[in-house]
Amino acid sequence: MSETVRVGFVGLGDIGGPMATRLARRQAEAGLALGVFDIAAAPVEELVEAGAEAAGGVGALAARSDVLCVMVNDDEQVRSVLDEALAGGAGPGLTVAVHSTVAPGTPAELETLAARRGVRLVDAPVSGGAMGAGTGELAVMVGGSAAAFAAVRPVLDVLATKVVHAGPIGAGTRFKLARNLMHYAAFTAATEAQRLAEAAGLDIVALGEVVRHTDALTGGPGAIMHRDTTAEMEPGSFWFTAFDHLRRLAEKDLDFAIAMAGELGVDVPLARLARDRLAPGLGFPEERS
């Protein structure tokens, strides 16, 4: 790889656009040279204004790149981009970073295809949304070999403040799917809380403001994610003692919320499930009859 890392970026949408713009604006200080491609002309023009070079197609971009970043919509589009890159002359020296969130088995399939041409590939999905992409504060979860991870690291360090080498190919995608399970399950719980608050005559916009304020202080659901195992805790152990107070508070408050929901005629299935599953989920031994 040359002293200047030649980066290609394919997919300039809601998150890919800010990511590429971040690279364009930091390329000189980071030792990068950025080329971009998208099927839409407008975002390419914006990136050229920011200092990137437009490419005529994926193949041409891949042929001149050391690292090719791919941020398109779905598995089919990722496969199409890789096919074009390999058909266009990409070969040894290129490492492809797939930032799209794809199916768990897709990265290994893509890596096999890329390896036939001597091309390395990592799955490197991101978390942090458009705001994190614009400020360079994304989290990136990477699956792939140590050599492939080292090749893309100079690019990722511009895009993210949290870079995790999660393991071999596919580990980044599995990491992202686990993270997003919590994300969207929490969204669903939020809709349940909104219905309860609305039925109680409360301002649900103000409720959202309180949730965002306090989650920024406490860490939200991530506040309980410090153990390195999900196995049952030993009574008297550090985490057993630390979580016991949390469990008691949670069970009390959930009981009150479920009772209030019953009085107001609001169905709260997630609250009832949380009441049943929080303690064993934390690692407390399940009660056995």
Long-range contacts of 240-249 (CB under 8 A, 24+ apart): 240/283, 240/284, 243/282, 243/283, 243/284, 244/284, 246/282, 247/278, 247/279, 247/282, 247/284
pLDDT digits (tens, 9 = 90+) for 89-122: 888 899 999 999 999 999 999 999 999 999 999 9
176 counts as catalytic: yes
Catalytic residue among 6, 22, 120, 176: 176
Q: Do 25 and 137 sit in the same domain of this protein?
A: yes
* CATH number of the domain that residue 93 is part of: 3.40.50.720
Question: What is the pLDDT averaged over residues 118-141?
Answer: 97
Domain check: are 70 and 10 in the same one? Answer: yes
- How far is Cα 163 from Cα 75, in angstroms, rounded to an integer? 23
Say how far apart CA 57 and CA 8 lie, in whole Å.
11
The mean predicted confidence, pLDDT, of the chain is 96
Question: Is 189 inside any structural domain?
Answer: no
Query: How do residues 42-83 score in pLDDT, each as one tens digit?
Result: 999 999 999 999 999 999 999 999 999 999 999 999 999 999
Residue 171 clears pLDDT 70, i.e. is over it? yes
Residues 169 and 233 in one domain: no
Q: Which residues, in sequence order, are bridge partners of residue 140?
A: 126, 163
